[in-house]
Amino acid sequence: MKQATLDALLNARAEKRAVALVTELASADEALVFADGRVEGDLAPTAEIVEQARNALRHNRSTSVVVGERRYFIHAFNPPLRLVIVGAVHIAQPLVQMARVLGYDISLVDPRGAFATADRFPGVRLLDDWPDDALNSLGIDARTAVVTLTHDPKLDDPALLVALRSDAFYIGALGSKRTHASRRERLSEQGMTEQEIARIRAPIGLPLGGRAPAEIALAILAQMTATLHGSELA
Amino acid sequence: MAENAVAGFEEADEILRQAAEWRAAGRGVALATVVSTWGSSPRATGSQLVVDDTGAFRGSVSGGCIEGAVVLEALEVIKEGKPRLLDFGVTDEQAWGVGLACGGKVEVFVEPVA
């Protein structure tokens, strides 16, 4: 790897931009391919390889490919998965701790100042905007999970409406079956279809049986992980 | 250790940053990357190991079975300035005298960082 490539790669990582490194394995010639198809480097990859590199980013899967006589390694460097939590409630505390170990980049949204404090959530990105504004400004993409925990329709619903119109890979809402039934009605009145609403995992989490906040956090993260990898448990 | 257990981003960044640090300190550096795996190999494609010209290394390309051999190859790569593609597997007894106890196979690309 050339020093210039290493520098550009580290730079893209620092800016949390998705980038694929394409290396021709005989010569070690290389190029960086960005998600928008922009190419940087000495290697001039064919359109086919650029497309494969973008695919590798989309599926977050590094792979080696053979084109003609040459073999290339496509190394997908995606920014970390993101978790947006709405509601700085008790369950959010173990959820933040565990999600951190899993490598998530975490944002915690709660407009109620008493809840989302740096004391209760040290080192977490806290947003005190209204949840729909917060989610819109964060930009929810296919590598983002959204979890609502407030139980309060005023806060949860606006977040869910934004999440349902996004590519979020996971949308979960805390609350009982009965709570979710009335939530469905409200979202349907807001114009969401049955099919769209069905994306919400509620009651949230895999049915592990635990009721302690940490156990619920574990159930949520287990379901997120299963969904991410397309496991049958999801 | 906790950071090493985190799959993906943090680990990849650590290794790349280490490569840049060693380069900045004027050391020879090689980067080893798992480019393909078969069977039950312990580390995913894309896992990396960075090596300096004293043999110090960081990261992993297996569960510890082949790191020693990869480091030795990496020292050669630093000296020669040319990349190598290495094959490790249970069927590959004579190559470096090391194999994967797990029964998997792994291909490791080693290149100079220069």
Q: Where are the domains of chain A?
A: 3-77, 82-228
For A31, the enclosing helix (H) or strand (E) is strand A30-34
Give B39-72 pLDDT, tens digit per residue.
776 788 999 999 999 999 999 888 777 889 999 9
- The 3-state DSSP class for residue A82 equals strand
Of A229, A230, A231, A207, give the one whose Cα is nearest residue A220: A207
Residues 53 through 72 of chain A touching chain B, CB cutoff 8 Å = 61-64
Helices (H) and strands (E) in chain A, counts: 8, 11
Q: How large is the ipTM?
A: 0.84
Distance, CA of A204 to CA of A91 (rounded, Å): 12
Tokens of A142: 């296919």
Distance, CA of A33 to CA of B54 (rounded, Å): 33
The C-alpha of B26 sits at a distance from chain A's nearest C-alpha, in angstroms, of 12
Going from the C-alpha of A24 to that of each of A27, A45, A136, B90, the distances in angstroms are 6, 9, 40, 27
Query: Which residues on B lie below 8 Å from A9 (Cβ)?
Result: 16
Residue A80 DSSP code: P
CB-count exposure of residue A47 (10 Å: 0-12, 13-18, 19+):
exposed
Are B19 and B31 in contact by the 8 Å Cβ rule? The answer is yes
What is the β-pairing status of strands A82-86 and A144-148?
parallel
Give B63-86 pLDDT, tens digit per residue.
777 889 999 999 999 999 999 999
Distance, CA of B78 to CA of B76 (rounded, Å): 5
For B23, the enclosing helix (H) or strand (E) is helix B9-24
Tokens of A25: 């394995």
Give A4-14 pLDDT, tens digit per residue.
999 999 999 98
Number of domains in chain B: 1
- Residue B25 in contact with partner chain A when CB distance is under 8 A: no
Distance, CA of A107 to CA of A29 (rounded, Å): 38
- Structural domain of B70: 2-113
Confidence of residue B7 (pLDDT cuts 50, 70, 90): very low
Q: A80 and B8 in contact by Cβ < 8 A?
A: yes
- Residue A184 in contact with partner chain B when CB distance is under 8 A: no
The C-alpha of A11 sits at a distance from chain B's nearest C-alpha, in angstroms, of 11
Sign of CA pseudo-dihedral A160, A161, A162, A165? positive
In the predicted structure, residue B4 carries a pLDDT above the cut 80: no
Are A36 and A18 in contact by the 8 Å Cβ rule? The answer is no
Give A82-134 pLDDT, tens digit per residue.
999 999 999 999 999 999 999 899 999 999 988 889 999 998 999 999 999 99
Q: A80 and B17 in contact by Cβ < 8 A?
A: no
Q: A7 and B20 in contact by Cβ < 8 A?
A: yes
Give every CB contact of residue B41 below 8 A, 6+ residues apart in sequence: B34, B62, B100, B102, B104, B105, B106
Q: A25 and B35 in contact by Cβ < 8 A?
A: yes
- Residue A23 in contact with partner chain B when CB distance is under 8 A: yes
What is the β-pairing status of strands A125-127 and A144-148?
unpaired
Per CATH, which fold does A82-228 belong to?
Rossmann fold (3.40.50)
Entry field: residues in chain B: 114
> Residue A61 CB: number of other CB atoms within 10 A?
14
The C-alpha of B52 sits at a distance from chain A's nearest C-alpha, in angstroms, of 14
Distance, CA of A175 to CA of A183 (rounded, Å): 9
Tokens of A18: 């998705």
Q: A1 and B9 in contact by Cβ < 8 A?
A: no
Tokens of A90: 């008790």
> Residue A90 CB: number of other CB atoms within 10 A?
15
